[in-house]
Amino acid sequence: MPEASELFWYFDQARVRHGPLAEADVVRLINERTIGPDSMIWYSGLPDWRPAGQVEKFATLFAGRMPPPPPAPAFAPTTRGAISPAGGLIATLPVWGLFGRCLLLTIGSLLVIPAPWTGTAFYRYVGTHIALPDGRRLTFSGQAGDIWLVFVGVSILGLAGLVIPYGNLLALPFSWALVVVIIRWFCAKLGSEDGSVKLAFNGGIWNYIGWSLLLNLSFFTIIGWAWALRLMMRWICQNVSGTVRFDFHGTGLAILGRTLLLCLLSIFIIPIPWLTRWYMVWFISQIKAQPAGA
């Protein structure tokens, strides 16, 4: 068995990861054209995934048959320090899998007791169906018992807001505070198959309450909430620290247009599962990512 430093991994065109492989196997796959110059490849000597044609060990194997130099990888920064337009997260959420977990999340919240399990199942499903722009799939290690009391608390506060007159006025600030705990848990439990992703959420509870209050008040402007949501999403993304940096690039107008279309078409009931996926995949794709050191 080769040493760990001599093992290689690569992503094929379907973004499926293969490995570990010995260097001789990689050379054979390059000669067989299974691995092309644009195939993302990594081994322990590389700081990050890189196109095979740009890896010194293999660059000469593509001589004479390499296409013109490709544009900068989606995960690389541009000269201005911003990531390329293709640098959004990649969501592969099946329609019925997502819709089913959304239903379970709602039912679990209403019944309170199942909330930790349905909540964890929802976050695990979403987290494990997201990949970074360079193809690295995310993993999620959270368990229902990690913060079960928080999920129960959010459910109870939600029910209190529904059944008690003006209950929302009292319940919402506490719910928002608990949501911050869930975001911190979700980020801390996210990782990647190669172990290179480590994340933490550093946003403060009072800051989140302030943004949530602004978002709720902005509904009185009829359309201003879309721009408030955009700013809130940017704040959340920019307060995630670790080996990857995030930012939200969706515009207020795009959020407004897609939300209105979602609400309009949901009147017909049947399209709701497909609309849910369409809306969520778009939101995820607007979260741009780049290495923390970029």
The whole-number pLDDT of residue 65 equals 56
CB atoms within 10 A of CB 136: 25
pLDDT at 68 over 60: no
pLDDT at 220 over 90: yes
Q: Please work out, in degrees rounded to the nearest 5, the angle formed at the alpha carbon of residue 221 by the alpha carbons of 215 and 227.
A: 50
What are the two backbone dihedrals, phi and then psi, of residue 140, each rounded to the nearest 5 degrees? Answer: -140, 125
Check residue 3 and give its pLDDT: 54
How would residue 5 be classed by pLDDT, with cut points 50, 70 and 90? low
Task: For residue 289, give the H/E element and its range.
Answer: strand 287-291
The CATH 3.30.1490.40 portion of the chain extends over 4-62
How far apart are alpha carbons 56 and 73 in whole angstroms? 17
Report how far residue 57's alpha carbon sits from residue 95's, in angstroms, rounded to the nearest whole number: 42
* Strand pairing category for 50-51 and 90-91: unpaired
159-200: per-residue pLDDT in tens? 988 888 777 888 999 999 999 999 999 999 999 877 889 999
For residue 162, give both structure tokens: 């529904």
Query: How many CA within 13 A on the CB side of residue 162?
Result: 8
User: 4-62, superfamily in CATH?
Assistant: GYF domain (3.30.1490.40)
Contact assessment for residue 10 and residue 19, using Cβ atoms and an 8 Å cutoff: yes
